[in-house]
A and B are shown apart, each in its own frame.
Chain A
Amino acid sequence: MSGKYVNDYRQDLRLFRTTPKKVLLVVGLLAAIALPYLIQIQWTPPFGFPWKAWAKAINLALIWSIGAAAFNLLLGYTGQISTAHAAFLILGALTGAVLGEASAGLGWSFWLVLPLGGVVGAVIGALVGLPALRVRGLYLFMATLAVHFAAILGFKMYQVAQVGFTGVRYFPPEVPSFLHWLPFVTPDANGQFLIQGDFRWYFVLVPITLGCLLFMVNVLRSAEGRAFVAIRDNDVAASLLGINVARTKLLAFAVSSAMVTISGVLLSFFVTARSDESWSIEIILDVAIMTVVGGFSTIVGGVFGAFFFFMTPVLFNWIRDLPLFDRFTFIDTYGSQIDLAIFGVAIVLVLVFKPEGLAGVWEDTKRYFRTWPFRY
């Protein structure tokens, strides 16, 4: 209970209800703008704390936030487990490769390809969701697994036919010309407005990620979102109340897939190169780690999970070079395995001690300060 009461629907529907929340929102936005400037500062923190390394991790976390939140929308809210998640990243990469400014692409603008990726993802997503009308749980898991390999095959066929074995290269997109007047938009050394490097990408990714997350939050707040949850909790009762279960399941698949496809377009243009070997089945495990650690059945959980997932290895990378730790050579030898072990331990700890995940920790923190200094 926050002690703030609402008297009508309009108040009830506000996303940011209280003054502290609004303040937090503004402070958060300012911090988000300041962050890359802070990271750019030339200094060497004590013990060689990785400073620059955050930039890439944060950008990747921003991109994967969308995917993790979309996974949560499908699994956490609608109760549909799909292993076709990575397939839509591939679909995004393929859309970018075919239509966008890539090795053998049609050269359409990134800003057109991005929403198109969403449309393509929604359509294919609805098709992939069709098995969900017949099977559920583990069977749906298996049925959608096939989509993953079909997508890899599709990407490989395109790559071999159009590009060759080296993989598809994606060229940096340009800032649209109507935004050039903005004070912080400056041309690079060649007088171009290309988006490359972690610093510039950050400012592109933040609004897109926020937009996608807000979209999903709002879908879940709508009647359709309530229908998602109804289907997860009890699909028989849901259909008795007049919910078109089939349509609603497909809608959940479409929304989730559209979001993942958009993040796939972002990912490929951000990392600039993709090949058929960029997509392992582990991706679905990565997303599952983000979802569970971040917080099941919350959109913000996906964000927390993504940041945890990409920042932990950076931290660990630093720790293992610290004096004392650098004596244990096996830490260096098995670095990535130890990263995985950390994730494994983190999942177990979360499941045992905080099933709500990092999002739950965040709620607890807020509650603590709301009632500070009194506890109850």
Chain B
Amino acid sequence: METGADRGGDGRRPILELRDVDTHYGPIQILKDVTIEIYPGEIVCLLGGNASGKTTTLKTILGYVEPSHGAVFLDGEEISGLPTQERVRRGISMVPENRRLFKRMTVRENLEMGAYLRDDREGIEEDMERVFELFPRVKDRLNQRAGTLSGGEQQMVAVGRALMARPKVLLMDEPSMGLAPVLVAQNFEIIEQIHEQGTTVFVVEQNANMALSIADRGYVLQTGQIVLADTASALLENPEMKKAYLGELE
């Protein structure tokens, strides 16, 4: 098996890497030669407008679609070709767009579902406590059905559920989607919080300003190609970026 190369000169190895990935739906090519590297402890964001290939990138990482060329590596091991559940087992977890909680299960059951692939009971209870520390409000609602929670609380449960898998890297699909502006801000606070606890986060977002304000680095995707890749602060200053995504008028 091919292993991921050391990049960046300081001997660090990406925790998640897409290398030269092409993805097709039938004859239509969606991703063209996409390379993304995410290093341990980073928050990396992937920006792009509608139909730029953001969701397909996530699907490729998770194995809902397979790249027609190139490969996906997790912690140096190739994971493309593996079924989704195996990738989850190896440490990829995702907070899906619109949260997608199990609405008829209680909050506790939702969190327990996050640990579906684990059987270390003590570790699970430990992580449950960690989630409670992170989101004390979740603990108050433990025996309530998830569908009865407010949008913000549901987001906390969704993040908590993803963390229960003890992921090496957490994927967030459009965390600002369908939420009130105040909740969007709260959401990004949540991301920062879990990042401070040492989780590597990969955020896929349309809201470029918000995402870049918390990210270390960012990639910009346009019609399936990475057109910009830089540190977040550089991207915020990039004139092209300002024009295309940040809505600044000249």
Contact = CB atoms under 8 A, between A and B. Distances in A.
B102 A242 contact: no
B112 interface: yes
Interface residues of B, number: 25
A237 interface: yes
Interface stretch (B21-29, B81-89, B178-186, B213-221): B81-89
Nearest to A231: B102
A242 B100 contact: no
B121 A240 contact: no
B89 A242 contact: yes
B70 interface: no
B198 to A, nearest CB: 21
Interface string B68-94: 000000000000000111001100011
A264 B105 CA distance: 33
Contacts of B96: 236-237, 240
Main secondary structure of the interface of A (DSSP, over half): helix
B105 A229 contact: yes
B161 interface: yes
Contacts of B161: 241
A240 B101 CA distance: 11
A233 interface: yes
B169 to A, nearest CB: 13
B103 interface: yes
Interface in A183-237: 223, 226-227, 229-230, 233-234, 236-237
B105 A233 contact: yes
B153 interface: no
Given A223-B116, A240-B93, A241-B161, A234 B83 contact: no
B127 interface: no
Nearest to B125: A9
Contacts of B109: 226
Contacts of A234: 100-103
Interface in A308-348: none
Contact of B62 (A226, A238, A240, A243): A240
A85 B96 CA distance: 35
A229 B116 contact: no
Contact of B121 (A9, A229, A230, A243): A9
Contacts of A223: 116
Interface in A125-142: none
A241 B88 contact: yes
A11 interface: no
Nearest to B95: A240
A102 B190 CA distance: 67
A9 B102 CA distance: 22
B229 interface: no
Interface in B138-177: 161-162, 165
A226 B105 CA distance: 10
B104 A229 contact: yes
A2 B102 CA distance: 25
A239 interface: yes
Question: Interface size bucket, A side?
Answer: 10 to 19
Nearest to A226: B113
B206 to A, nearest CB: 20
A371 interface: no
A239 B96 CA distance: 11
Nearest to B87: A242
Contacts of B5: none
A166 interface: no
Interface string A236-261: 11111111100000000000000000
A86 B121 CA distance: 41
A237 to B, nearest CB: 4
B224 interface: no
Given A9-B121, A229-B105, A233-B105, A241 B100 contact: no
Nearest to B115: A241
B14 interface: no
Nearest to B164: A241
B24 to A, nearest CB: 21
A150 B112 CA distance: 41
A259 B6 CA distance: 55
B117 interface: yes
Contacts of A227: 116
Contacts of B62: 240
A22 to B, nearest CB: 24
Given A226-B112, A230-B113, A239 B121 contact: no
A227 B113 CA distance: 8
Nearest to A246: B83
A230 to B, nearest CB: 6
B85 A244 contact: yes
Contacts of B84: 239-240, 242
> Shortest 10 CB-CB distances between A and B: which pairs?
A242-B88, A237-B100, A233-B102, A242-B117, A242-B85, A244-B85, A234-B100, A240-B94, A241-B116, A239-B84
22 contacts: A223-B116, A229-B105, A230-B116, A233-B105, A234-B100, A234-B101, A234-B102, A236-B100, A237-B96, A237-B100, A237-B102, A238-B113, A239-B84, A240-B62, A240-B84, A240-B88, A240-B100, A240-B162, A242-B165, A243-B85, A243-B116, A244-B85
Interface of B: 62, 83-85, 88-89, 93-94, 96, 100-105, 109, 112-114, 116-117, 121, 161-162, 165
Given A233-B105, A237-B102, A242-B88, 20 more contacts: A226-B112, A226-B113, A229-B102, A230-B116, A233-B102, A234-B100, A234-B101, A236-B100, A237-B96, A237-B101, A239-B84, A240-B62, A240-B93, A240-B94, A241-B117, A242-B84, A242-B117, A242-B165, A243-B116, A244-B85
